[in-house]
A and B are shown apart, each in its own frame.
Chain A
Amino acid sequence: MTADVGAQLRKGVVEYCILGLLDREPMYGWQLSEQLVQAGLVASIGTLYPLLGRLRTQGLVTAFNQPSATGPVRKYYRLTPLGRDQLNAFRLQWGPFTASVHRLIGEDTRD
């Protein structure tokens, strides 16, 4: 058993959380990083890009360039149809999974 439970849990879900964010709207790197860092799912923007690279390799995410309102052209990421299917499959499993784990470990009610 590993001592760093949080890191293992984050590793298991972070890619689906990226898919979830991109399901709302296409986002650029910093936008994604800000939300994921705030949620404690990645340590920095450096952690995000290898994950995005893997998602692109798997065909779950695609990138495109778009000029921003303030000037610079940004690289945006969006979900592919395959990515949306993967996210939906994860959503279907996540609820029952967390419910099962909760049933097994419950809450510590001892004083």
Chain B
Amino acid sequence: MTDTTPEITTVYLAQLDTELDQLPEDLHRDIVNGIREELEGLDGEAAAARIQQLGDPAFIAAGARAETPNQAPLVGTDAPTPGRAFSITAAVILIAGSLLIPGLGAVAGLVFVSQAKAWSRREKTTAWPTVALMSAAGVGGAHLVVLVGYLVFPAVGVTLAVRAQGRGWRA
């Protein structure tokens, strides 16, 4: 069967899903399902009108976060919720680690970044391809490995830190 869901609905639900990333799983699911129900069966024009009423996904997520004070566990993990200090440590490990122990230090930093609460799933996913870039640089010779190792990873770390700092170390 052909999926006739209008693109505006698909894009909106995907954005909402990303914005709700750090909320508890059941709450995340309830909001997305509740809004999906509301958009289901609407054509593009009707969906656009309803989306306008619903508001920006970031605004919806902010409302949900405001009503869910810090007890929200990280989605899909039983580990204690890593907070601001953990996120700062992750950024420091990525920046300093990639300079002190090229390659291994950067990977360790990225693992910490992946566990931290300060970045969205999209930001974390975007950071990882730099490892592939490092491996690819190996083909181009040692000097390229050094260039990528000493410049790209710290730059990724600084970018992530600046973004997180700008929003108070919350995703």
Contacts and interface: CB of A to CB of B under 8 A. Distances in A.
A74 B38 CA distance: 8
Nearest to B60: A46
Binding site secondary structure of chain B? helix
Given A71-B40, A73-B37, A44 B59 contact: yes
Contact of A46 (B31, B33, B40): B31
Given A28-B34, A75-B33, A75-B37, A53 B59 contact: no
A49 interface: yes
Interface string B42-86: 000000000001110001111110111000000000000000000
Given A44-B54, A44-B55, A44-B60, A50 B27 contact: yes
Nearest to B69: A50
Contacts of A43: 59, 63, 66
Given A44-B63, A75-B33, 20 more contacts: A28-B34, A34-B53, A43-B66, A44-B54, A44-B55, A44-B60, A45-B31, A45-B35, A46-B59, A46-B61, A46-B62, A46-B64, A47-B63, A47-B64, A47-B66, A50-B64, A52-B30, A53-B26, A53-B27, A71-B40
B38 A30 contact: yes
A74 B37 contact: yes
A49 B27 contact: yes
Contacts of B53: 34
Contacts of B26: 53
B42 to A, nearest CB: 9
Contact of B30 (A42, A47, A49): A49
A82 interface: no
A97 B68 CA distance: 28
Interface residues on A, range: 20 to 34
A65 to B, nearest CB: 10
A66 to B, nearest CB: 11
B138 interface: no
Contacts of B61: 46
Interface in A51-72: 51-53, 70-72
A26 interface: no
Contacts of A29: 30, 34-35, 37-38
B52 to A, nearest CB: 12
A46 B63 contact: yes
